[in-house]
Amino acid sequence: MDLRDSFRNATRAIFAAKMRSFLTMLGIIIGIAAVVMLMAVGSGAKQSILSRMQSSGSGNLYLTAGARSNVLMGGGGLGGGNREGASAGAKITAEDLTYIEARVTYPIVVSPTNQTNITIKNGDTTMSGTGIFATPTYFEVESVTIADGRMISDGDVDNRTRNVVIGNTVQTTLFPNESAVGQPIRINGTSYKVVGVAAAKGESLGNSVDTAIVLPFSVGEKSFGVVHNVIQRTTIKCVDPTQSSAVTTEITDILTRKHKKVDFTIQDVAALTDMVTSAMTILTALLAAIGGLSLLVGGIGIMNIMLVSVTERTREIGIRKALGARERDILVQFLIESSLLSIAGGVLGIVVSVLGSDFIVSRFTTTEITGSSILLAVGFSIAVGVFFGVYPARTAARMKPVDALRYE
C-alpha cells in the first residue's frame, strides 16, 4: 500500500464519523486559538508600551531630584522603588544643569521643565490640563512638532511673555472651528496669547502634550507659584543615542561630586526599553505556555479518540494484515489520520484566533498577531497530531492478524 492509499483511507475514516472528528478537533481548535490570542495580547502590549517609550526619544535621559533605592546608577539602568532623598531637601537647580553641560564630554541637549495642573478657558468652554514650563529645547528633546504657528522662543523665556503653545486636544476642545494661533486664552484666570499649536503626539511615559499648554519656563515662578530655582524634571537628549549609557555614567559622577551624595535619579529610556522588551518577551512566553495547556488537553483528546477508533476497527485491521498489509502501512494510516485531525483543528484554531483577536479582544486591549505565532501554532498542531497519534497507531500496527480477526 502506497502513501496515497493510506491518505485516502485515513480521510475516509475521518469523514465516516464527522461529528466525532469535529469534537476531537475542537480541543485543538480551542488550544491553538488560546495560544495565538494570548501571544497576540502579549505582543500587542509590548509594542504599545515600547511605542510610547520610544516616542519620547530613544536617546533621552530623565534627571529628577531624589534617589531611588534600586537605581543602577553606574550602569545607566533604572529602577523603581521609593525615593530616599526627595523628602530630605534634594533638588536639581539651574546651576546643576549649567555645571553638567560644561563638563559632559558627549554632545547633549538639556531641557528643564516644571509642571502644574491648570484650568484653561476660552469663552464658555473650560477644560483641565497640564501647564508645562519649558525652554525652546523642550520641543527638540521631546520630539514635539508644531502644526500651526511657532514654538516658545528664547525671547519669550527672557522676557516672561504670556505667549503659549497649546496641545492638539486643547485646540480641538477650545477652538473646534477655527485656528487658535493669535487667539487669547485664559489660564487660571489670566489672559495669555496662543502663538503655536503642537501636532498630536499621544502619551509618552505618562505625559501627554496633547492636553497640555507649554509656557515660557520663567513664567512658572512669576505666575504659578513654582518654587524658585527648582527644576522638577530635566530631559537630556543624547545626540548619539548609543552613548546614553556613557552619558548617564558621566552625569552621575559629575552630580555626585557636586552634591557630595547621590540625591538624584537618572532614567535612561534606552535601558528602560531593553528592560521592558525582556520582561514582555517573558510574559508573552508565559501566556503562550498557559494557552499550551489547552493544546495538551486537545492532544489527549486525539489520543483517546484514536484508541477508540483502533478498538472499533480491530477486525478491519486483522483483515488488512491477513491480506498482506505490513505493520508500517497500518502505522502510517493511523498517524496520517491523527495528524489530519490535528492540522485541520490547527487551521480552524488560527481562523478563530484571528477573528477573535480582531473583533473581540481588540476592543479591550491592543493585540498583534505575528507570523511567528502562526508558525508556532501550525508546528504545534502537527507535533500534537504526531505525538499523540503514535501510541494508538503502534497499538494498531502490532496487532496479530489472528487475534484481530477473533475480536468481537
Q: Render pLDDT for 288-330 as a digit per residue (tens, 0 to 9).
A: 777 777 777 778 888 887 777 777 777 777 777 777 777 777 7
b/e sequence 321-359, b meaning 16+ C-beta within 10 Å: beeebeeebbbbbbbbbbbbbbbbbbbbbbebbbebbee
| φ and ψ of 267, to 5 deg | -110, 125
Most confident of 58-62, 88-92, 109-113, 239-243: 109-113
Say if residue 87's pLDDT is above 50: no
CA torsion, points 275, 277, 283, 285, in degrees to nearest 10? -130
Confidence band, pLDDT 50/70/90 cuts, at residue 394: confident
Mean pLDDT of 194-220: 86
Who wins on pLDDT, 22 or 45? 22
b/e sequence 126-152, b meaning 16+ C-beta within 10 Å: eeebbbbbbbbbbbebbebebebbebb
Q: Is the pTM of this model over 0.95?
A: no
CA distance from start to end of the chain? 26
Crossing angle of helices 327-359 and 371-397, rounded to 10°: 150
Who wins on pLDDT, 95 or 364? 95
Percent of the chain with pLDDT over 90: 32
- Residue 72's pLDDT is what? 38
| φ and ψ of 263, to 5 deg | -120, 40
Who wins on pLDDT, 279 or 362? 279
CA distance 109 to 247: 12
- Residue 42's pLDDT is what? 80
Q: What is the mean pLDDT of the chain?
A: 82
Who wins on pLDDT, 374 or 162? 162
Give the pLDDT confidence of 119-149 residue by residue, as tens digits: 999 989 999 999 999 999 999 988 899 999 9
Confidence band, pLDDT 50/70/90 cuts, at residue 163: very high
CB atoms within 10 A of CB 15: 9
Confidence band, pLDDT 50/70/90 cuts, at residue 250: very high
